[in-house]
Amino acid sequence: MQKIAITCCLLLITVFSFGQQSWEKQVDSMLNKTFPAKGSGATAIIAQKGQILYHKAFGMADLENKIPMRTEMVFRIGSISKQFTAVAILKLMEEGKISLQDEITKYIPDYPTQGYKVTIEHLLTHTSGIVSYTNMAKFGSELMTRDMKPTELIDVFKNEKFEFAPGEKWNYNNSGYFLLGYIIEKITGITYADYIEKTIFQPLGMKNSLYGSNSKLIPNRAQGYEPGPTGIQNASYLSMTLPYAAGSLMSTVNDCYIWNKALNEGKIIKRETLEKAFVPYVLKSGKKTSYGYGWSIGEIEGQKLVQHSGGINGFLTNGIYVPSKDVYIAVFSNSNAIAPIEVSQRMLQAVLGLNKPKTIVKIDSVKAKEYTGVFENEDGDLRKISWANGRLQSQRLGAAAFDLLMFEKDKFYFQNSPTELYFTRDAKGAINGLLTKNITDLPQVWKPTKKPFENARKEVQVAESILKTYEGEYEISSNLKLKISVDKGTLKVSPTGQPTFELFPESDTKFFLKVVNAQIQFFKNDKGEVDRLILYQGGQEMTGKKIQ
């Protein structure tokens, strides 16, 4: 979920004019490999300084009828919808109809804020503390197919206990953007769908963009798919009244480029207002988040990057913009099995000439010693740097260790990953910390600590007959399902749109992952049948009901 920033003018035009053939072949190769001709497909666009440089389609738009993907295909864009909602709010702010510091009770007087002051800005920045309705167990098990009015769905989550005090933490939250959509309706007197259509789509000529519908005939609609027990299958039904202002819009990569271009030309809101959306929100503690108003904020080569991804039944999307270079990239996929975020980021690196192979600098155990130790970030997470198997390695607490490859003094990268790790030094030349950098988030600072790095979880043996009882598909939300399977006596989990990971048992019912700090526990009903699981990750407990 994020975008990007700007850079050179004349120089970049020259690079694109004479270097495009080089990166175009790389991008073609990436996309052909990610979206094979006979599988589900994708459309992709690359534009710079008002010119579309690349616009192609890959794979199939309709697997049942063997219809190839075309560039004009229309997709559900999921959470990319949030930037439209955010800009609608900012437009109303410019018109003097709303303030970002207004409490939400000004527009929804009966909303139970439980003694807290919840502002419009808290909703925009995912810092309200309100429970996200898509994380509630009943959303996946009871509500996904029901058409509901905004007030009816608000009633589903409004009385839930706040997860934290507004402004104290960041937690991605669909309820916040749902409430923003309803507030837009209260202010304008028309539906959210009509407001976006009349204020954005029509004036900008976005003829292939609309509020999503399951029943309406939509020319060039791409069919949506998801992983199933025996392979790819049609996406599960979802009432489009439910994502609403958090994710119900449909569009094409070309229309989203039109939108991005118009925004940066000041055609919807002022440029200075848009710039505020591209500033990371700061929590009460003074900690910067990696989110502004409707866009995630990152960096690439020291330049601001704004980005947002989308995930909704049958579709995964990603759009990136680098303001300083005026480069826009979008990739839309019609399957929850293939996420476009990584390939779109690698495309950006190729276009900017940043994906050239790095020269590996050899390092021995003596030189590596000064880098070793335990480091802590401002969230209290621990990272251990150690020397093992002839390589320097980095390991997060609760996760597996990954090799670090040096390409310059104090600078390392993870193989097959855009993440880099830089050690910092004090005035005397001694290492005093490290930075981790990728193009999804802002750089993260880690300082040396004497805290013990102890992975307390210990593996136990669990009979395969017990593991078999956990097999099936569990639904955590409309966007996240976990497929549990057994392979050669090992339990595996396949999250929607992600690779398969091994689960390690610490008891007969509880398992942990090594690639991330997460645990899964299985539960039985009164009949002794496994009917649900709980995913413990990032301080959250997310229930998944067994659906297959």
* Extents of the domains making up the chain: 76-351, 365-448, 464-546
- Predicted pLDDT at 542: 80
Closest by CA to 464, choosing from 488, 444, 481, is 488
Describe the chain by its helix, strand, coil percentages, rounded to 5. 25, 30, 40
Cβ neighbours for 447, distance < 8 A, ≥ 6 positions apart: 375, 376, 377, 432, 433
As averages over each run of 10 residues, the pLDDT of the chain (548 residues) reads 27 37 90 95 96 97 97 97 98 98 98 97 98 84 88 96 95 96 98 98 98 96 88 91 97 98 97 96 94 94 91 95 96 92 91 84 92 89 90 83 91 81 95 86 87 77 94 81 90 83 91 82 89 79 82
- Predicted pLDDT at 18: 35
The structure tokens listed for 381 are 């997470």
- Predicted pLDDT at 15: 33
What's the CA gap between 173 and 132, in Å, rounded?
5
User: Could you tell me the CA-to-CA distances from 235 to 71, 244, 316, 399 in Å, in that order?
Assistant: 21, 18, 12, 32
- Identical topology for domains 76-351 and 464-546: no
- Predicted pLDDT at 538: 60
Q: Given CA atoms 84, 87, 92, 93 in this order, what sign does their dihedral have?
A: positive
Name residue, tokens 């307390």.
456
Fold assignment, 464-546: Lipocalin (2.40.128)
pTM over 0.85: no
Q: Could you say which DSSP state residue 92 is in?
A: H
Q: Which CATH architecture has domain 76-351?
A: 3-Layer(aba) Sandwich (3.40)
Question: How many CA within 13 A on the CB side of residue 292?
Answer: 26
Does the domain at 365-448 match CATH 2.40.128.50? Answer given as yes
